[in-house]
Amino acid sequence: MAHAVSVKDPLDVEVLRKDFPLLARTVHDRPIVYLDSASSSLQPRQVLAAMEQYYETTHANVHRGVYATAEGATELYEGARRKVGRFIGAPDPKREIVFTKNATEALNLVANAWGRRHLKRGDAVVLTEMEHHSNLVPWLMLAEAIGIELRYLPVDADGRLELDGLERALEGARVLAVSAMSNVLGTINPVPTMAEAAHAHGAVVVVDGAQSVPHSVVDVKALGADFLAFSGHKMQGPTGIGVLWGRAELLEDMAPFLGGGGMILDVRLDRFTPAEIPWKFEAGTPPIAEAVGLAAAVDYLHGVGMERIVAHERLLTAYAIDALHERLGGDCRIYGPPAGGDRGGVLSIAYRDVHPHDLAQVLDQFGVCVRPGHHCAKPLMHRLGVNATARASVGLYNDEADIDTLIEGLSHVGTVFG
């Protein structure tokens, strides 16, 4: 969800970069230029320190022991839940935040725990051509299992959704599942408008926020979502933890996704009673240290200021698009909308006819980290008419010098491949 931002207090990137140990490394005798935050962001020292302190002073399983460290671990874990909930404006953070291992698991949870209970053969789910596999494959699996109908909103030539047919697609639909921001095109979709239309048709709105939550100011009420999924490792947190936010009444009406310890109130040989939300969706030992790290990441982002981060990344994205066009001209194609309020800091690039993997390998010689591939969005690749792209993506620790180095590397690609 895009917000108007102020640039009166710009980020001091040189100071921020000192918080990220990996950026002190050199590769091929060059400093690292990390342009792969859309895949996984870097963690600041504050996150690493919080997790280390937990392991050194408070490590115990949660919701089980009554000794001091166990109670301390439980409070850290549940405190992280509340903190993450407040970060996205959850009305009831204690009950509406479910910890998973990533956004993929969170979206699978919705498709299975909500979808299998509420959808039947012939019911329609509206998706888009730009969805990440994690917000596509679970619905394909459900279609195969119970025979639901999948409808798709197309992508236009500029990388935006074609919404002229939204009302028609929503007729009789039970679900609208949409990415808030494309991990390939950088397109920021008008989720509030789409959600309003979906709700008018009685559809539940499932939002993949993996790319949007780390790079925008999010309020789930303003977003209009019924479910929102995102990952810790894309927002300066650790790997191994994701988040599902859902409206409490929807979560209460869902069956558990996984069974085992921690998610039950009572078990008999012939039946079980699940725990209350959110714990009925958190079977087994949860990612405790990772939750502590994610809470520290939220503190870090708050400390920097999400509005400042949005403003910085928007300006840097505009600089990157302009500089790539100006210096490389027609040799470089950038997929997605032009710079602006509906464009995030993801730059999928094609350079001449050089294969994206070759391009990424040459860039690595300049210390530049980009991701080549289909980016877990194969249907969108087919729509774009390519097998892969090289994707550069910015974060709060990037600056114009990083973009300049990217362009230097791309220029060398032209020399290497002629």
Whether the upstream peptide bond of residue 379 has omega within 30° of 0, thus cis, is no
Catalytic site residue 376?
yes
- Tokens matching residue 288: 């405790």
Other Cβ atoms within 10 Å of 306 Cβ, number: 19
Sequence-ordered list of residues with C-beta below 8 angstroms from that of 357, at least 6 positions apart, any chain: 372, 373, 388
Q: How many residues does the chain have?
A: 418
Sequence-ordered list of residues with C-beta below 8 angstroms from that of 318, at least 6 positions apart, any chain: 339, 340
Alpha helix (H) residue ranges in 147-246: 166-170, 191-200, 220-223
The residue from 133, 376, 408, 411 that is catalytic is 376
- Tokens matching residue 50: 């919080």
In angstroms, the CA 137 to CA 144 distance is 10
Angle in degrees, 0-180, between the axes of helices 288-304 and 306-328, rounded to the nearest 10: 80
- Across 93-241, the runs of DSSP E, i.e. the strands, are 97-100, 124-128, 149-153, 173-179, 204-208, 227-231
Other Cβ atoms within 10 Å of 309 Cβ, number: 20
Q: In this structure, are residues 372 and 351 in contact, taking their beta carbons and an 8 Å threshold?
A: no
Active centre residues (catalytic): 376
